[in-house]
Structure 1
């Protein structure tokens, strides 16, 4: 794999970047296949060392190739590739600076975006709320690609691993691309669930209590098979 880059990197780091880019592109394509984004909306990133690999702006994911790898440092300076990084770079960088995230997924998932128009917080309709740290907040609206939106997002992410962006979509993070993506998919599913239950005339959805969410949090810590990753 040949990169256009600023500064040199060792062979091990270059191999790590190549593997991360391949996984990033696969995750980005999955967001389209699963209906979480339309066209080139949404974006995905992964951190390798001090480099943040990120989907480029306005390029269909099915056209991305190894030579299109795009990366910036934590200050936003481009250090890898020639394609312009996503316009939502401020959100991605804000997450990496403030958390231990190794991957970030941003989507325009329809049910989650619909919920962002209606409430300030997604009600705890399912125990998977605990996998995101608690009831998912809605960050106030700000224009896409702005530092203002990044600040609103960070506030909503306090003690959480995902949030909704009002009139916009979702953002989640994790220790891997698989984990970040799974959190996004779970968030969209819970939003769909709440909208479905809320639409029944004369009925109010049953919500989980704080104690029930605490219990779910403890039980989720021990879920899954050793060697097969976390259940999120």
Structure 2
């Protein structure tokens, strides 16, 4: 009597393709997405985190018998396993990639419960004092500049021999005013990164 191994087709790997594989990078449960095979010169799309979870041991409460964990949320993928949320080499689910070799992408995690600081920047103001920084827990909603303190800021500069005065025009997420505008009374939700709001101005001569 002889027993023969029985086989069934698992996958077909295209010729002239690169293998894109995924690493849970410290996950404590769940499965990584299946590897992708992308034809050379073609584009692929990064998947979601599938069923991956990351809950690291924090403390054991002897009085209740419960185990406390630091829970992490999935941020995206990076070829740098030590990358952090907000780094330029972290790509979110659905990002397009064009590989030039076989590559490994690592899951990037960030603490779910985390304090985030919002800073108001005078952005070159010559008078007044910017609002104090505010630190809240991630995903907390706040009202931007509720007392309209930004209106106390002033800016005057000399341009081509003339004194140009500016008036307060709200806040922006970029110093050049090309980011997202926020005005007094607007609702802002803290996410994963430290935030800086720059004083936005318009000129009056």
TM above 0.5: no
- The structure where strand makes up a greater share of residues is 2
The TM-score, its normalising length taken from structure 1, stands at 0.23
Pair member with larger Rg: 2
The TM-score, its normalising length taken from structure 2, stands at 0.25
- The structure where helix makes up a greater share of residues is 1
